[in-house]
Amino acid sequence: MKKVVLVAVILSFLGAGDLFANIDNLSNMSVEWIRTGNRNAATDAADIVIYNPGGITQLPDGLQVNIGNQTLIRKPKHTYDLGMGSQSHEQDDIDWLLPNVYVTYNKDNWALFGGYYIPGGGAVVDYPNGSITTDMIGVNMMMEGMIQGFDNDFLEAESVYNTLTFGGTYQINEKVSVALGLRYIFVENNIKAGLTGINDLGGGNVVQTPLRVDIDEDADGFGFIAGVNVNLTPVMNLGIQYLSRVPLDLETDVNRDDLGMFVDGSESPRDYPGMLGLGLGYDFSDKLYCEINYSYWFQEEADWGKDAAGRDISGMAGDALSVGITVSYKFTPAILASAGTTFTDFRWDDIDGYYQANLGAYEVLYTDNWHLGCGAAWEFKENMKVNLALGWTIWDDKDLSNTLLPGEIETENSTTTIGIGFNLGF
C-alpha cells in the first residue's frame, strides 16, 4: 500500500506537468491589460488581437505593432505539518520575461492580424530548499523503508505555452465588424526535483544517495478564434470573443529518473480550455473612458485526465470566470492614465480533490483573486505610444485538506507585475 501511495505522489506531481501560473489561462497578455485589467471592448491598440479581434478595423489604416514585456515578482507560500513539526516554504524569485508581439494591418474595411504571446505558464517554480511535494516524496520513501532519512530536497519547474495567432477582420457596416482566426499552441514544460536519501549502515558508515528526476514535456495543437465588435452608439462599444478549446497531449521525455517511475514517450492530456470574453466600453467624454468586462473559461470541457479514483480532474476544478472595470482619463491629447480591477472566481467542484491530484499546485496556488492595475500611456510621436504599468494580484488564503496528511495545508500568494511596452503605427 505504501508503495502505491509513493507512486501516486510522484506521478501526480511530476507526471501531470501542472505547475502553471494559474489553471491554465492567463489574462495578463499585454502591458495595456496590466494597467487596466480590462480590454475586451478596447479599440485603441494592437494588443486587441487577443482581447477584441473584431474591433481591429477600428484602428487606423496601415501597420500597427504592439511590443511588451512583463516582470513578475511572485510570492506563493504554503505551511504544513507532516508529523515532523510545522514547516513553511515560500518562493520569492523574479520572472523577468513575459513577452508579447502583436501586429495588425488595416486597409479600408478589412484587416489582418497576427502575434506571439504566452497565455499560460510563463513562470518558474523554484523551491531550492524543497516544498511540501518533495517532503511527501521523502516521507513516503522512509515509510516504505527505502531510506532512513533525507536532506537537500529541491524543486524547480518551468512551463511555457508558446502561442502564435493569425486571422482577419472585416467591417460589414459602420456598426458591425467580425473576425476569424487560428491559434497554434506549443507547450514546453521542464520539471526537476530531487533529494538526498540517507541510510545509516552502522559503524559510522552513513550512505548518502542523490535521487534526481529531470523530465521534459511538450505538446501542440490548434484552435479557432471568432470575434464580433458592435458600435452600439457613437460613444458605446461592445466586444465579443470566443476562443475554442485546444486539444493537447503532453509527451514525456525522460532525461533522468533515479526512481524508475516514468516511461519515455508516454502521454497525458492537458487541453487548453475554451473561453468567452465580453466587454462594454463607454466614452463619457473626449477625456474619460470606462469599460466593464466579463470572461468565462470552460475548464470542465477540457480533458485533463483522471485522478487515482477515476474522476475527471477538470470536473473537480470546475469552470472559472472574471469580472472587472477600468477607467482611463486623458490629461492631455498625448498623456492618459488608467486604473482598473478584476476579480477572478474559481468555481471549484472539489478543490481539495484537485490539489491532491495535482500536488505541484500547492507550490503555485489557484484560488479566487483580485487584480489591481494602474499606469499611463504617452504618445511621444503621432501614432506611437509607450505604456508603463504596475499591477498587484492578491489571492484568497486557503486551508486545504489532503487525505495523506494529518492536518491542513495553509496557502497564500501575491504577485507584483511591472510592465513596459510600445504601440507603434506606420
Q: Which tens digits make up the pLDDT trace of 75-84? A: 889 998 887 7
CB-CB neighbours of 128 under 10 Å: 13
Asked if residue 176 has pLDDT above 70, the reply is: yes
The whole domain housing 167 covers 2-425
Quote the pLDDT of residue 359: 66
Question: In the structure, what pLDDT confidence band is assigned to residue 381 with cuts at 50, 70 and 90?
Answer: very high
Quote the pLDDT of residue 406: 79
Report the domain count for the chain: 1
Quote the pLDDT of residue 21: 32
Quote the pLDDT of residue 26: 82
Quote the pLDDT of residue 20: 33
Share of the chain above pLDDT 70, in %: 94
Quote the pLDDT of residue 347: 93
Quote the pLDDT of residue 362: 84
| Average pLDDT of the segment spanning 91-109 | 92
Quote the pLDDT of residue 85: 79
Residue 385 belongs to domain with CATH number: 2.40.160.60
pLDDT digits (tens, 9 = 90+) for 11-57: 444 333 333 334 677 889 999 999 999 999 999 999 999 999 999 99
| Average pLDDT of the segment spanning 51-64 | 97
Quote the pLDDT of residue 12: 42
Please state the pTM of the whole predicted model.
0.90
Set of cell numbers at residue 90: 515560500
Question: In the structure, what pLDDT confidence band is assigned to residue 9 with cuts at 50, 70 and 90?
Answer: very low
Quote the pLDDT of residue 124: 81
pLDDT digits (tens, 9 = 90+) for 182-233: 999 999 999 899 999 999 888 889 999 999 999 999 999 999 999 999 999 9
Average pLDDT, the chain: 90
